[in-house]
Each structure stands twice: as structure tokens, then as C-alpha cells.
Amino acid sequence: MKTYQIAALAGDGIGPEVMREAIQVLRATGEKCGFQLHITEAPVGWAGIDFARKALPDITLEICRKSDSILFGSVGLPDRDPTIPKEERPERAALLRLRKEFGLFANLRPVSLPKVLAHACPLARERQGDGIDILVVRELTGGMYFGQPKKTEDLGGGNLRAIDTMIYTTPEIERIAHVAFRAARLRRKKLTSIDKANVLENGILWREVVARVGKQYSDVALEHLFVDNAAMQLILKPTQFDVMLCENMFGDILSDEAAALGGSLGMLPSASLGVTNGGRTFGFYEPAGGTAPDIAGKNLANPIAQILSGALMLRHSFGLNEASAAIEGAVQRVIETGLRTGDIFNAAEAGARKVGTREMGAAIAAAI
């Protein structure tokens, strides 16, 4: 039987409770589809700091290195931030570090609004068209997140100067553009590239390089939008988008906006992929939402983003397309039967039943 090694890093806040449900669903899928998962859990984020005084403990990094892929929960508890220096906080010391360490330059965030969740979308029905189905392809290891210098200087007299640097090179833009064009080919063959070419040097280079790469994909319709306009178009007419290609920070912002259109951030999975080597792609899979400390430990969190992240792992890292589709199908059926966590519940919806994290996870595992 095929066996895969997975590092499961649940992290903070709602991480552990949604991770538990995702693992349950993955195990049910393995039994059904005939593969085995060796899952090793390891602490990260504040859980790592409490365990080994490091957001990314050495043992956790070691386990990740020995694994075929990483299933990640979420990290960060803003209330505790003031207790340690900013470079040691989980977002930078664990999440960004892992992205860089494993060269995870391509972040895929698929957003779709299932018909039955039309009520959870903040837009009027006539703007939802036949449904929203967008793939945000976000560059994940460049731009303002990582550019140097990155520091805060003391100017004296109580004044500080904060510096972040936005850097992109031609090869960095080319490789993420190829990912986006290939994804568009498998979808509706439309690619919208987002930049700020009217103001930023980075935007000019981005647009030039994407246009040049696009010549190799003449079957894909390419358009360029400025990021501010793209944010507006997402609200005005989200159905015009198929694949949206963004640099790191624009993708961070627009993917949350797109997620809201898909009903809830609790429904948005993501895959972060490195280069493909001998047919294998090391990947990092995480829900795009955060730790949601306000609802943590209360059995209120929606586990679907974490569960769907598991489905993306099966597809992108292990090539288990059927097993992946089995999870996506189970999620869809359970939603169709009316089960709703609080974030997607609407009392006015006929047949809707409000459930907790555990009940939602168990129902999806049973539906595999």
C-alpha cells in the first residue's frame, strides 16, 4: 500500500480543533481509496514557543524535512505578541520561515461559492451570476514580505523610520506566471494579472514579464488590472475572474476579499508549492484564515478550510486525484444536507442546521 509521510503542524487558536477533523477525514479517505498516511504531529507557533521557546522548534523543522508534505493549521495570538521581539513572533519566525526554507513560491487559493451558500455571500444574488469560482495564484516568497532592508531605524527625537523593501526579479515573476498560466489552461482559460504598474517599478516589471510569458500560452486570454481596480471589480463583478495572478502582498489582500465572496474565510483552503522534482512537489497546505482566538476551543470553528487543504495535499503533492475529489465531494454533500457552522449559518435558510466543529468533521468523514 502506498504510504505518505505528513507533518501535521496544528499551531494556535482554532488550529488544533480543525486539524483534528482534517486528520479524521484524511484517514477515512485513505481507508476508502487504499493509501496510508503516516502523520507526525509537531508544535509550531505559540505552541512551539511554549514547548521549546521557539515558534519553529528544531524538532518540528526536522520532522518537516523528513516528510513528503506539511499540513499546517494556523499560528499567531496577537494578545501575546508584546511578550517577545517581533522577529520571534510566529508569523515571521514560523510561517514565513517555513515558506522560505522550503522554497514555497506558489500559493494557490481556490475560492468558490457553492449555490447552496448563496446567502453567505455578501453580494446581491444578481451579482453572483452562475456562481463565483476564482483561483488566486499568489507569489509567496518575494516582494515586500522578504525584501531587504527591512527594519525600523531610530531617527532620534522620538521619531522612527520603518522600511520595507519590495523586490522582484525576472525569474521570480516568470516561474509564478507559468504556474498561473498552466492553472488557467485547466480551467476557463482566462488570466488576470494584478499589479500597480502606474506607480511601482515592480509593477512595470511584473506586467512586462507576465505579458512575455503569456506569449507561450496563446490559448489563455490575458488581461492586466491595477490592484485597486481589481479590488473594486471583485465586488462589482466577481464572475469576470477565473485565475488572478498576484505578487505576495496584493495576493494576501485580494485572497481574503475573494474568500469573503465565497461565503466565509472558514471555507478557503490553500496550497503552497515549491519546485517539482522528479514528478514530486513538496507542498505546504493550510487554511487561509487565521487562528480566530475569539472562538478557539469552543467547538465553533469551521473545519472545512482545513479539510479542503488536506484534499489539495492529496492532489498536488501525491497525485491522488480521485481521493482528493472524494473529499471535495463529501464536503459538498454535507453542505447540501444543510449542516452549517456558525460562519455559514443563516436562520432564514430552510433546512439549515447549526453544528459545531466536531459534528461537521464527523459528517464529512462519514460522507467519504
Closest to ligand IPM by CB, 220 vs 308, is: 308
Closest to ligand IPM by CB, 131 vs 293, is: 293
Q: Which of 4, 54, 133, 145 is catalytic?
A: 145
Q: Is 91 in the site for ligand IPM (CB under 6 A)?
A: yes
Q: Give the residue among 219, 196, 216, 191 at the shortest CA–CA distance from 206.
A: 196
Can you tell me the distance from the alpha carbon of 315 to that of 329, in angstroms, rounded to the nearest whole number? 14
Q: Is 331 in the site for ligand IPM (CB under 6 A)?
A: no
Closest to Mg ion by CB, 68 vs 252, is: 252
The 221-260 site mask, x for binding ligand IPM (CB under 6 A), equals -------------------------------x--------
**CA-based R_g, the chain, Å:** 20
Query: Is 252 part of the annotated catalytic residue set?
Result: yes
Phi first, then psi: what are they for 317, rounded to 5°?
-95, -35
Q: In the chain, which residue ranges form alpha helices assigned H by DSSP? A: 15-33, 46-52, 58-65, 90, 97-101, 125-128, 170-185, 201-214, 227-236, 248-261, 304-316, 321-336, 357-367
Query: Is 196 part of the annotated catalytic residue set?
Result: yes
User: How many beta carbons lie within 10 A of that of residue 124, not counting itself?
Assistant: 7
Q: Give the residue among 130, 126, 162, 157 at the shortest CA–CA distance from 144.
A: 162
Phi first, then psi: what are they for 226, rounded to 5°?
-70, 150
Secondary structure (DSSP) of 23-35: HHHHHHHHHHHTE
Min. distance of Cβ 226 from ligand IPM in angstroms? 21
Q: Which of 54, 252, 285, 343 is catalytic?
A: 252
The 246-265 site mask, x for binding Mg ion (CB under 5 A), equals ------x-------------
Report the first-to-last Cα separation within the chain, whole angstroms.
19
Closest to Mg ion by CB, 248 vs 341, is: 248
Min. distance of Cβ 280 from ligand IPM in angstroms? 24
Q: Which of 61, 77, 93, 95 binds ligand IPM (CB under 6 A)?
A: 95
Can you tell me the distance from the alpha carbon of 76 to that of 325, in angstroms, rounded to the nearest whole number? 31
Query: Is 50 part of the annotated catalytic residue set?
Result: no
Contacts of 279 (CB under 8 A, 6+ apart): 319
Query: Is 4 part of the annotated catalytic residue set?
Result: no
Choose from Mg ion, ligand IPM, none: what does 95 bind? Cβ within 5-8 Å by kind.
ligand IPM
Min. distance of Cβ 95 from ligand IPM in angstroms? 5
Q: Give the residue among 288, 233, 229 at the shortest CA–CA distance from 255.
A: 288
* Near ligand IPM in 269-308, by CB under 6 A: 288
Output b/e per residue, 29-54; b: 16+ Cβ within 10 A: bbeebebebebebbbbbbbbbeeeeb
Query: Is 150 part of the annotated catalytic residue set?
Result: no
Q: Is 68 in the site for ligand IPM (CB under 6 A)?
A: no
Choose from Mg ion, ligand IPM, none: what does 251 bind? Cβ within 5-8 Å by kind.
none
Q: Which residue is nearest to ligand IPM (CB)?
A: 91
Write out the residues near ligand IPM by the rule CB under 6 A: 76, 91, 95, 252, 288
Write out the residues near Mg ion by the rule CB under 5 A: 252
- Annotated catalytic residues are 145, 196, 228, 252, 256
